[in-house]
Amino acid sequence: MTDPKDVLGGVALWRRIADAIRLDIIGGKLASGDRLPTEAVLAERFSANRHTVRRALAVLADEGVVGAEQGRGTFVRSAKRLSYPIGKRTRFSENLAGQAQTLTSRHLSDRLENASAAVAQALGLKAGAKVVRVEGLSSADGRPLSRATTWLDYRKFPDFAARVVALHSTTAVFASYGIDDYVRASTRISARHADAEETQLLGLSAGAILLVSEAIDARLDGSPISYALSRFPAERMELVV
């Protein structure tokens, strides 16, 4: 599109409406049990046709966020996004304790590879150095919460993947290497659309937005331990610093 003004920007109206309403619910403007404005009112608010609003509501109903009742209205069903705290000591399971009943971490795959420039820099290695790469997926109450890729120095953690499978907890694995304490050295946060694989694994509708966190965990003396790239569905999670 060089000359024609692309006002639509490639994101369908119904999706933007769905996102906006979901945000009102998650953000607390609409509480669980509240009745939404009528379809006609929403249509006017978003300058859209009632059918377009209905499509947005249908998506939210599919997600379980709202439910329509003929003759009565459309009501908020679920609510609340989980909060993921980021601080000096960031531990996955402790962080979300109390916000969900069951927390599971699934190991997807692992392999050896040569560090890319970004990975090498994060871990303080030379580009091309051997690193362990681990792919994982975490869920709370059966809903996927994060898709993470972790890299570690192969020389220091040669069998990291095997220990993750055996011990399940990252903290426990580090402890098994004699690392009793470690801290978050840096976290960089960005956002983008999910790709096809992420969409599928995280159980999202295509085009969903991800919060992307690039984190480096380090020993107390500052030497880097691991570099993790985690992707959180923005509709289910927020990060708290």
Partner DNA sequence: ACTAGTTGTCTAGTTCATTAGACAAATCGA
Partner DNA sequence: TCGATTTGTCTAATGAACTAGACAACTAGT
Contacting its own copies within 136-195 (CB under 8 A) = 184, 186-193, 195
Burial of 105: CB neighbours in 10 Å, binned 0-12, 13-18, 19+: middle
Residue 24: φ, ψ to 5°: -60, -40
Are the C-beta atoms of residues 55 and 49 closer than 8 Å to each other?
no
Binding span for DNA by CB under 7 A among 9-17, 177-185, 189-197, 222-230: 9-17
Pairwise CA distance, residues 38 & 40, whole Å: 5
Asked if 40 is part of the footprint of DNA (rule: CB under 7 A), the reply reads: yes
Q: For the CB of residue 14, give the shortest distance to DNA in the complex, in Å.
A: 4
Q: Which residues contact residue 5 at a Cβ distance below 8 angstroms, ignoring those fewer than 6 apart? A: none
Find where tokens 């681990």 sit: 134
Token code pair at residue 88: 């000096």
Using the minimum distance from each CB to DNA, give the nearer residue, 54 or 133: 54
- Pick between residue 35 and residue 130 the one whose CB is nearest to DNA: 35
Contact positions with its own copies (CB under 8 A) in 29-48:
none
Q: Are 220 and 63 in contact (CB under 8 A)?
A: no
Q: Which of the ranges 3-11, 78-86, 144-152, 164-172 carries the binding residues for DNA, by CB under 7 A?
A: 3-11
Q: Which does 163 bind (CB under 5 to 8 A by kind): its own copies, DNA, none?
A: none
Of these, 19, 22, 26, 39, which contacts DNA (CB under 7 A)? 39
Residue 70 or 190 with smaller CB distance to its own copies:
190
Contact criterion met (CB below 8 Å) for 147 and 201: yes
- Which residues, 69 to 128, sit near DNA by CB under 7 A? 69-74
Binds 68, which of its own copies, DNA, none (CB < 5 to 8 A, cut-off by type)? Answer: DNA
Instruction: Tell whether residue 101 is a contact of its own copies (CB under 8 A).
Output: no
Nearest Cα residue to 136 out of 195, 202, 186, 224: 202
For residues 13 and 167, which CB has a smaller minimum distance to DNA in the complex?
A: 13
Q: Which of 24, 34, 63, 68 binds DNA (CB under 7 A)?
A: 68
Does 51 participate in binding DNA (rule CB under 7 A)? yes
Query: Which residue, among 30, 37, 38, 43, has the nearest Cα to 77 in the 3D structure?
Result: 30
In angstroms, the Cα distances linking 54 to 17, 42, 66, 120 are 10, 9, 12, 49
Residues near its own copies (CB under 8 A): 1-2, 6-12, 14-16, 18-20, 23, 27-28, 55, 58-59, 61-62, 81, 83, 86, 117-118, 184, 186-193, 195, 199, 205-211, 234, 237-241
